Structure 1
């Protein structure tokens, strides 16, 4: 009996610790980079991610430049070839990666914390960050790869829906430009453009360094100094302009021969750190973020059989990111599915979730939260979000309590203030003969260069 009580107590304590979230330490390097660190001693590994305000929102008219610059960092550095850099990581079992989204670009490293192996991995990573060569031959290879990617997106109806959605929602705002570029812009980018972008945005004061692993804080501080010390000090880039307001409903059809029609519906949503974050997030779990138990799934898929897949989500960003509800359906049912999607979202905005829906959502989110922070790689991603968007350091510790505190009234209030059924972007990608072509009047499409040459990450 005593043993059973002890085991139960241990389980309860472990669950409470997991739901509380990890403790985060934060400081600045001597050169001005912001550091966030969590000690995780369960396995002898370290995950390190260095993030810059250098996403496609900084491309200007040179669409694709942020992605091209980021992809070329490890293609040659400090006289080392891209092949040599790759072999150096492989030979010690380290894993290097990089990427770019609209707000940010990053490099990441996963390595064992054994002294010699970690030192070798960090030495190579520091050269990639601080002394990239941007060889012309590698630029041409990466340009061809990106152009091939654009052609592949032309054959993907989901990608075409995404392209049209972001353009029509954001227009000339930096979020409206295609992160992977267009054929027109990629063909004219030069090494000098890449080098200028790197020098402007890959600087210490524009960097966030997130570290999670089997390290003490002194060792983490030394790693951060090693990675940031030889970066240009630089300055933070100017703030992005506010996202444009949406004051009308836009309906855009993108012709595409396929057996299914892809439908996207959305509007401006929220920025990171928005006071309405938790009411909108918890509410969306009931609306379309909770999978089989969400209202969209039960209404459109389960009861009416109109869609193979239906869901909704918010993408919080530096400035207002989008709210998106989307589905895929047979061409013959596209009009009915879109109308039901609009009606269900509108009804949810007006009435909010039921008490049972809210209770189920809270339990699901709370129960799943420990699984979202149960690995170094997942924690390091949260550190990036916290550091990049200036969220409080106790964000993870207070996460579950903030979910619990969301009320029915708070969800209804937030949705009614933030989403307006009369102001939506509707994108329909499918054949001209699909039901949506007769059920929905066409709106003037955006310029072809946006529908056929751009997109989102």
Structure 2
């Protein structure tokens, strides 16, 4: 059975990978659960993506890390099976389950053969509805989380990003690591984990994408059985996060041969009319996948870093425009000066017609490559729903990219490229920056 599963995994790419050929159906189960489905019956295999909005941001007061620890325990035994028995049952069905948590969402991913669909989903249901949370499993996974927290405390990259978040979002869950602290994680009990599960994994914040060998009727029945036993309503969503960082520089002394820098400012919402213009602007400025201005100026011309990049990060309760770079302690000040100069150039001059066309060619050409298998497509379907995008978005997305003009970029550059608002958090022993404000 395992050989069959591996062979199917290698062949699970949809016959129609071009985005225009992805035909999405919206279905509603008899019990009222909505899902987006792409049928593909040429291979007896299905990928299912279930996502709950809220994620680690729904940790109760004083219980930071509860959702993260709870998610780590979902495969550590369920119903009458302990962790080993559960893992053996999943492997015996040639199924694959995955659980992950982010600041704004909790994801459940499943891949299963058509012949094992009923048994695989019954097994997954036990993890979602009847997790054991045995004390030995709690202690084991808690130890793994604690090790991660201790490791992050010594990682300059993690320190830089976390310091930026603490300064930008003080008082909001975004300001703290979703893994929690040594103190909060040590105090978590089994009851805390059960409460965290009910707070996040509820039907009122549920989004589903399915791709593969399953019909609308089959999917509807599956969803009611799999998810119908979850609580109807979960915890209230957090309040909007107030961005609190003014432009400037924060230095965190740390004994390391190179400094790690996180930089950013307030960004733009995903549903903003200018989002596509901002997306193209950033592709040119510091995006990945092509020769961005930051890579050209900071790495290629001056050799100050191996890599530098920027990205738009529209979250559920805040939006930021972020970037990262690492450079030798005696050269990081120059790298920051160059990045600041590029922010100024972008704000004052926008981009060229040649740069805009190059970015359009790259983004429209790369987009179909995202649809390279049932799992990635199911993930895209859920992301579209969470972002409240129309069901025909895949077919129209490249048109929206191509519709962006130089005038749009100029407008957005004046709106978002605000050099004086960019804040740099430097972790290391940067030469010439210690006395900065």
TM-score by length of 2: 0.91
Equivalence for 2:276: 278
Equivalence for 1:178: 177
Equivalence for 1:85: 86
Per-residue CA deviation, residues 40-74 of structure 1 (Å, 9 max, x unaligned), is 33533211121112412112432111111111122
Segments ≥4 residues shifted beyond 4 Å: 14-17
Equivalence for 1:10: none
Trace 1:193-342 onto structure 2 (pairs within 5 A): 193-235=192-234, 237-246=235-244, 248-342=246-340
Equivalence for 1:407: 405
* Matched-pair contact (CA < 8 Å) for 1:30–1:229: no
**Offset of residue 292 of structure 1:** 4.5
> 5+ unaligned residues in a row in structure 1: which ranges?
1-13, 444-457
Equivalence for 1:143: 142
Cα separation, 2, equivalents of 1:100 and 1:157: 23
* Matched-pair contact (CA < 8 Å) for 2:276–2:404: yes
Call closer, same or farther: CA 1:32–1:188 in 2, change over 3 Å. Answer: farther
User: Structure 1 residues 88-97 or 312-321, which shifts more?
Assistant: 312-321
Cα separation, 2, equivalents of 1:160 and 1:351: 34
* Matched-pair contact (CA < 8 Å) for 2:204–2:233: yes
Per-residue CA deviation, residues 386-431 of structure 1 (Å, 9 max, x unaligned), is 1223222122121111111111111221232234222222110112
Call closer, same or farther: CA 1:224–1:200 in 2, change over 3 Å. Answer: same
Equivalence for 1:53: 53
Call closer, same or farther: CA 1:17–1:71 in 2, change over 3 Å. Answer: closer
Cα separation, 2, equivalents of 1:179 and 1:40: 37
Equivalence for 2:119: 120
Cα separation, 2, equivalents of 1:410 and 1:68: 44
* Matched-pair contact (CA < 8 Å) for 1:46–1:211: yes
Trace 1:148-163 onto structure 2 (pairs within 5 A): 148-163=147-162
Q: How many residue pairs get matched?
A: 423
Cα separation, 2, equivalents of 1:280 and 1:295: 15
Call closer, same or farther: CA 1:247–1:96 in 2, change over 3 Å. Answer: closer
* Matched-pair contact (CA < 8 Å) for 1:46–1:376: yes
* Matched-pair contact (CA < 8 Å) for 1:314–1:323: yes
* Matched-pair contact (CA < 8 Å) for 1:161–1:428: yes
* Matched-pair contact (CA < 8 Å) for 1:60–1:174: no
For the pair 1:377 / 2:351, whether they are aligned, the reply is: no
> 5+ unaligned residues in a row in structure 2: which ranges?
1-13
Call closer, same or farther: CA 1:440–1:357 in 2, change over 3 Å. Answer: farther
**Offset of residue 123 of structure 1:** 1.0
- Is the partner of 2:239 in helix, strand or coil? coil
CA RMSD of aligned residues (A): 2.1
User: Structure 1 residues 260-269 or 342-351, which shifts more?
Assistant: 342-351
TM-score by length of 1: 0.87
Cα separation, 2, equivalents of 1:261 and 1:302: 19
Cα separation, 1, equivalents of 2:100 and 2:15: 34
- Is the partner of 1:252 in helix, strand or coil? strand
